[in-house]
Structure 1
Amino acid sequence: MFKTIALLAALVTLAPSAHSASCKPAPLGDATLYLRGGLNNWSAQDEQAFQYRCNAYYLNLAAKGTQEFKLADEDWTASLTFGGDAKGNPARGATGNLKREFKGQHTLRLAIAADGSATLAVGPKTFKPTPPKPLSDKAALTTRFNSRSTEFKAPFGAQPAGSEVRFSIGNDVPGLKQATLVIERRQMTGNQEQLAYEPVARVAMTPEPHGLGTGFTARHRFDATGIYGYWFEIETDQGKYALQNNKDPIYWTREKGSMGPSTVERLPSNVNRVRRYRQTIHAPGFEVPTWAQDVVYYYVFPERFRNGDKANDPRPGGGRPQDRYQDRDVERHAQWNEKPFKPDTGDGSDALYNNDFFGGDLAGIIDKLDYIKSVGANALYLTPVFRAPSNHKYDAADYKNIDPAFGTNEDFTRLCAEAAKRGIRVIPDTSLNHVGADSPYFNRYGNFPAGGAFDNGRPNPASPYYGWFKFKPGEKDPNKQYQGWVGVSDLPEIDKNNASFRAYAYRDKDSVTNLWLERGAAGWRMDVAPWVPDDFWREWRTAVKTKKPDALTVAETWFDSSKYFLGDMFDSTMNYIFRNAVLDYAAGKSGKLMAANLELMREAYPPQAFSALMNLLSTHDQPRALHHFGEDRNLTEAKQRLRLATFFQMTYPGSPTIYYGDEVGLGGGDDPYNRAPYPWADEGGQPDEALLADFKRLTQLRHDLPVLRHGRLSEPLHVDENVVVLARQDGKTWALTATNNSTSAKTVKVPLPFRADQLRDALSGDAVSVKDGWIQLTVPPLFGRVLITP
């Protein structure tokens, strides 16, 4: 009885009444609120936009399990962002996340009182949204543009400064009266917090015949480097419209639209709502090290890869630097193949994160270089190895020395030398955005000689490092007396504009940047790049290239990274768009979703950067691929889906990246379980040798076929829910790659963009016939095929 009354109450609470006398104007005005959380990569998606009705904001949401989120507008405007307060209720300015349980279809109701307080109710789905008014103007609806077709835009893709680009639109029915090409310059800072467009030009387009309708053409010369937005304002007898980018969501990226075919909507009163196409204009001399496109990375979290020297293992009560974590002892795992500790899970660990150790080190990596080579890798990416108290080492305590639990500076030099003998380059990682609270630079816990900026928990203006940080002297709580990165007090954020820090980081002859290049590094991966000012990276890149011209610079960015590829900052990035697109496809989602995300990068990124992207499947910051594929539900199928994802990774442009252990079936969900030890057999692990053999076969395929490394990628030949067929050209050599995410074989017929009588299957060696320029191709379940010209 009680449950029935409660359900009726929820229905009454959540169901809006359009005729209620209590209806009031929207308290947030014209602003649109979105649910932004883990289920949509914290982006503002139309599918999760609230609609105001009468006296509250409503959203229908399909979700399962515990979800964390905030409610905010597109710009994360402070006055329009509702986080979770101490009791888990929505409140403006609250830094916590809202957390709710979902079991399928629900209606969310956000009510905002006159005093600004808010309440959020979640109940059964009851809300009926007001559908948008449909367009009926045929002249507007039939007007077309396609950024990837030379009929509408030439030349294709990113271009050097000074390039002139032709833009054309057209339709096949009368009624299009005039058209204007709108060019704007994008301004984006930080982690997409500030995103705006400023006007550059409005170009009246010239009419020309186009079938039964009218076409329009305009040209614009892009003289300065930058990321530009463009769209078309068109006019018919029935009004004005925006011919613009589509609504495709791009993983991790705030801006919607994958480019390609256009969409049309009524011209909004606020043009900020227009979805721009994007045009990358890079420096004419932008060069990326040519070796990057031939790379297969092996990506190692050193503490969990291999213990080669047990003498340096962190041990509680040992009295050495590696035996302490801030102001207490470390935790030590008794067995190599234990699960990483996670507080509050009942595993017997303490309440601290990232202070448990297994003993992995540089000696262990050196011992396994032959293994890394045998997997097919020719580059080694290491998460930080410099002195730091945590197991992840992003809380730097000494940028210029190897952590004693990992070995010595000489061990790093030896690692680089031994790797080079095997044709393997070494890329280290660090953060120039923040250090550890337990470091000589900050010295919060007094573990170092006096002289830190926050010695023993007190600001020290006499410290040579004091100017590196931003202090808040009015605060009484030591955790709030300085700026921690994203509010984390263990990671004091550096003022990157400080001249002393810039000298230490890259300007000095013995700077951090120069020192490790001298010691053998082949380049740098830079942590949390969006939190560091652009002009810092511009100077830093100059320092890197001056010291070692063929050094590779890799940014950690998760979203559309076009702005970093203008020739003045980075060569490459950790490609999280690729990761999410390929994992979701291999897990069974539509090939069209994957193709849209990948095609955006092919169009937006300069080809020299596109061919050098660090194409990931698993990382130390996200659940492993095998977990994504459902290792806990059907391990056999999950491994086959991993094979499919790896096949795609090895046959696509860029630098395939193998996260240690993926190749032998190492799984694991969110941190810390994605950082489990490699399951070495001599440590009691059970590596999957059959899966390893498949990885080796696929890396060898990539090394054997230059077209898979150097070949130019064209627009997909075929994309449907299951099958994606791509074409690559390297000189006179062509390759077709086809993948199928279905559990049954699929047959497709595709036209060839080149002449051939037959092709050869690169894996089986079988001949495949071509008939009248077409090929009928059967793709095996959860795998793929590579066909090459003889």
Structure 2
Amino acid sequence: MNFYAFHNSQEEAFRAPFGAVEEGAEVALSIITEGCQTVFLELVHFTGYSERIMMTKADYKELADDSRTINLGNDRELCLWRTEVVLQDTGIAHYYFVIEDNKRILYYGNNNEKLGGEGTLTEEKPIPFQITVYRPFDIPAWYREGIIYQIFVDRFFNGNEDGRIDNPKKNSFLYGTWEDEPMYIKNSKEEVVRWDFFGGNLKGVIKKLPYLKELGVTCIYLNPIFEAASNHKYDAADYKKIDPMFGDDDIFKELCTKAGDLGMKIVLDGVFSHTGADSIYFNRYGNYNSLGAYQSEDSPYYSWYQFRKHPDEYKCWWGFKNHPDVNELNNDYMNFIIKDKDSVVSKWMSLGASGWRLDVADELPDEFIKALRKKVKALNKEGVLIGEVWEDASNKVAYDVKREYFFGEELDSVTNYPFKDALLGFLRGDISSEYMRRKLMSLYENYPKEVFYSTMNLIGTHDTERVLTLLEERNHEKGKELLKMAIAFQMTFPGVPLIYYGDEAGMRGGRDPKNRATYPWGKEDQEMLHYYRKLTGLRKELDILKKGSLTFIDTEEDVVAFCREYQGEKLITAINRSGEARRLVINTDSPYPELRDLVSGEELYIDFTGSLLIERYGIKIIKVN
């Protein structure tokens, strides 16, 4: 197509302000085209209402000092078009440009990857750019500026002095030693017939609080701890009771109190989209002294569930009969979980929990999440609500419903799996540094800034293979070196770093259940543990890593680098996956004598392998490979 047009949604020369905006904000939009035709902005609001706005011509040379990505030194006749729009309604607003050129109509919209930034010129209606519009809300600083540690309780530590396993379950399998490799005992239908346990408990978490403090942890996220038949507890049997293998109310309260004394908060896993079939509420197997929904339509819990034909045909989570779905908007269920004075949420927060991570948030209606947030904040204005979402959560569509997670009335944070996929994809050699940067910049553009700085930045969880195992698949000898790069990136990037228990000890493991092995107490990889402590210490020490702005630095394919800046201070992180020396080139006007020896003209040249931090307020260069 012999025609030129350009817009970059991530440059303030073309869209100001950058990224998501508060409701009522004015946004200035610009585009450059070849020749001076008529250009319109097509703006589509969250409700679906669309309006076409004629843009005003300006002098394109006004962009000369503002744009990084457009080359204005060409022979084309270029025109700059501008307009301002006021975005009153919360939600996702979309836009693209309509260009009338000598009786033909062209369109300029988002790129095919929907990642924002530089767009694409087409002859058909394009993929639109996105602007997230939200109501302002505060996220507690203790969470936003913290470090999270995730614990799968059965596999972390047994706090009993004699090593006994508390209250073993009927027909369960107990491992002979703590070092055994986990396995499932299944029938021909791949159904678990005996759940396996190692004996970790809440007493064990309490005993290891000093270890977590030394690691730099400020928030402990516990996988589900309520009574359930399984070892993972995502099949709740009683929401108001700690599983007897883990402890009881008093032990949980003690954990919250002692963690608080050490500056740590406790976040619980809320599994509210389904219960267990083996539960007080459903009671399919008759193991509880209650009238369950499976047993009778007269059950007080019958209306919670969605039976097609009672009792054996019912809606269940992803087809698993052991996980019957609930109707979250059922009044009785809403009252039980959220609204009652003695609701599930009220009970555990009154005992010391500081927030919730919502399992499969996509399965929970927006109305349910809004009510839950309102309750959490009423109980504790410093409480947090985190959603498990595996994609870009700003524009998530689940079950044909456009979700409202970030509009100001629902989530404080989400699980940042796109961060994990981009970082590990780069380190494994699956994607280039440019594509990694584009993936992360898309999140920066789409998420409210408060949320972007509060995302749960994970590199491994109970649902993924161990990060070291993933990095060793392509090159076993480089695995630990690549993991160090991942840690350096994670601990210096905006967001809240999450450490999955044992990753800091160098644990390996494939898919479930191998990724849920026991913590190797006394057999940790001390080199890796030292490295984690070094980086968590740096993050806790420097406000720039918690509050600083983000700017990516142009690099070659094997290197990713970004700069954080806060109150006149700067810190640069660079990682080099190649295993060979690569050059990092940084424009600098540094007055520091320690840096002048490395500067040639206006640029800093550093050849390095592995990871590199350049702290420009001290100044010191930290090679962390």
Q: Which amino acid aligns with 1:232?
A: F
The 5 A counterparts of 1:556-705 are: 556-562=388-394, 563-588=404-429, 589-630=431-472, 634-681=475-522, 686-705=523-542
Counterpart position of 2:373: 541
1:205 to 2:55 alignment:
yes
Counterpart position of 1:55: none
Counterpart position of 1:499: 331
Question: Using the alignment, how far apart are the partners of 1:353 and 1:667 within structure 2?
Answer: 26
Q: Which amino acid aligns with 1:757?
A: P
Question: Using the alignment, how far apart are the partners of 2:611 and 2:510 within structure 1?
Answer: 24
Counterpart position of 1:159: 21
Number of equivalences: 593
> What are structure 1's unaligned runs of at least 5 residues?
1-135, 188-197, 249-256, 269-273, 761-765
Which of residues 712, 730, 746 in structure 1 aligns to 2:549?
712
Which of residues 419, 437, 444 in structure 1 aligns to 2:259?
419
Question: Using the alignment, how far apart are the partners of 1:605 and 1:238 within structure 2?
Answer: 39
1:260 to 2:142 alignment:
no
Question: Using the alignment, how far apart are the partners of 1:261 and 1:638 within structure 2?
Answer: 34
For the 8 Å contact 1:707–1:734, the answer to whether it is kept is: yes
The 5 A counterparts of 1:430-469 are: 430-455=270-295, 460-469=296-305
Which of residues 389, 397, 403 in structure 1 aligns to 2:243?
403
Q: CA deviation at 1:393?
A: 0.3
Counterpart position of 1:168: 30
1:239 to 2:90 alignment:
no
Counterpart position of 1:177: 37
For the 8 Å contact 2:186–2:193, the answer to whether it is kept is: no
Q: SS in structure 1 opposite 2:345?
A: helix
Q: Which amino acid aligns with 1:440?
A: I
Q: CA deviation at 1:634?
A: 4.7
> What are structure 2's unaligned runs of at least 5 residues?
62-76, 395-403, 619-625
Q: SS in structure 1 opposite 2:39?
A: strand
1:756 to 2:590 alignment:
yes
Q: Which amino acid aligns with 1:297?
A: I
1:215 to 2:80 alignment:
yes
Counterpart position of 2:321: 489
Question: Using the alignment, how far apart are the partners of 2:121 and 2:220 within structure 1?
Answer: 47
Counterpart position of 1:44: none
Counterpart position of 1:77: none
Q: CA deviation at 1:719?
A: 3.4
User: CA 1:424–1:467 in 2, change beyond 3 Å: closer, same or farther?
Assistant: same
Question: Using the alignment, how far apart are the partners of 2:59 and 2:374 within structure 1?
Answer: 50
For the 8 Å contact 2:94–2:128, the answer to whether it is kept is: yes
Counterpart position of 2:11: 149
Counterpart position of 1:725: 561
User: After superposition, what is the alpha-carbon deviation per residue over 1:700-737, rounded to whole angstroms, capped at 9, x for unaligned?
Assistant: 111121111111213x1223311122111111222122
Q: CA deviation at 1:314?
A: 6.2
Q: SS in structure 2 opposite 1:719?
A: coil
User: After superposition, what is the alpha-carbon deviation per residue over 1:352-395, rounded to whole angstroms, capped at 9, x for unaligned?
Assistant: 17711111111111111111111221111111001111011010
User: CA 1:732–1:531 in 2, change beyond 3 Å: closer, same or farther?
Assistant: same
Counterpart position of 1:283: 135
Cα root mean square deviation, aligned: 2.2
Question: Using the alignment, how far apart are the partners of 1:707 and 1:730 within structure 2?
Answer: 5
Q: CA deviation at 1:241?
A: 2.4
User: CA 1:168–1:397 in 2, change beyond 3 Å: closer, same or farther?
Assistant: same
Question: Using the alignment, how far apart are the partners of 2:194 and 2:204 within structure 1?
Answer: 20
Q: CA deviation at 1:635?
A: 4.0
Q: Which amino acid aligns with 2:253?
A: T
Q: Which amino acid aligns with 1:750?
A: I
For the 8 Å contact 1:429–1:526, the answer to whether it is kept is: yes
Counterpart position of 1:20: none
User: CA 1:744–1:200 in 2, change beyond 3 Å: closer, same or farther?
Assistant: same
User: After superposition, what is the alpha-carbon deviation per residue over 1:733-752, rounded to whole angstroms, capped at 9, x for unaligned?
Assistant: 22122221111121122224
Which of residues 157, 163, 169 in structure 2 aligns to 1:323?
169
Counterpart position of 1:527: 359
User: CA 1:450–1:505 in 2, change beyond 3 Å: closer, same or farther?
Assistant: closer
Question: Using the alignment, how far apart are the partners of 2:357 and 2:315 within structure 1?
Answer: 24
Counterpart position of 2:67: none
Scaled by the length of structure 2, what TM-score is found? 0.91
Question: Using the alignment, how far apart are the partners of 2:95 and 2:605 within structure 1?
Answer: 39
User: CA 1:665–1:774 in 2, change beyond 3 Å: closer, same or farther?
Assistant: same
Counterpart position of 1:742: 578
Higher RCO (CA-CA < 8 Å; seq separation 6+): 2
Q: CA deviation at 1:186?
A: 4.5
For the 8 Å contact 1:717–1:751, the answer to whether it is kept is: no
For the 8 Å contact 1:313–1:405, the answer to whether it is kept is: no
For the 8 Å contact 2:32–2:80, the answer to whether it is kept is: yes
Q: SS in structure 2 opposite 1:360?
A: coil
Q: SS in structure 1 opposite 2:415?
A: strand
The 5 A counterparts of 1:301-380 are: 301-309=152-160, 322-324=168-170, 329-343=171-185, 352=192, 355-380=195-220
For the 8 Å contact 1:757–1:769, the answer to whether it is kept is: no
With 524-533 and 301-310 compared, the bigger mean Cα shift is at: 301-310
Counterpart position of 1:130: none
Counterpart position of 1:774: 603
For the 8 Å contact 1:759–1:769, the answer to whether it is kept is: no
Counterpart position of 1:226: 91
User: CA 1:734–1:495 in 2, change beyond 3 Å: closer, same or farther?
Assistant: same
Q: CA deviation at 1:758?
A: 3.1
For the 8 Å contact 1:759–1:789, the answer to whether it is kept is: no
User: CA 1:587–1:634 in 2, change beyond 3 Å: closer, same or farther?
Assistant: closer
Question: Using the alignment, how far apart are the partners of 2:163 and 2:529 within structure 1?
Answer: 30
Q: CA deviation at 1:137?
A: 2.5
User: CA 1:350–1:267 in 2, change beyond 3 Å: closer, same or farther?
Assistant: closer
User: After superposition, what is the alpha-carbon deviation per residue over 1:633-660, rounded to whole angstroms, capped at 9, x for unaligned?
Assistant: 6544111111110010011011111101
Aligned sequence identity (%): 35
Counterpart position of 1:9: none
Q: CA deviation at 1:552?
A: 1.4
For the 8 Å contact 2:558–2:578, the answer to whether it is kept is: yes
For the 8 Å contact 1:514–1:547, the answer to whether it is kept is: yes
Question: Using the alignment, how far apart are the partners of 2:209 and 2:593 within structure 1?
Answer: 37
Q: Which amino acid aligns with 2:591?
A: D
User: CA 1:311–1:690 in 2, change beyond 3 Å: closer, same or farther?
Assistant: closer
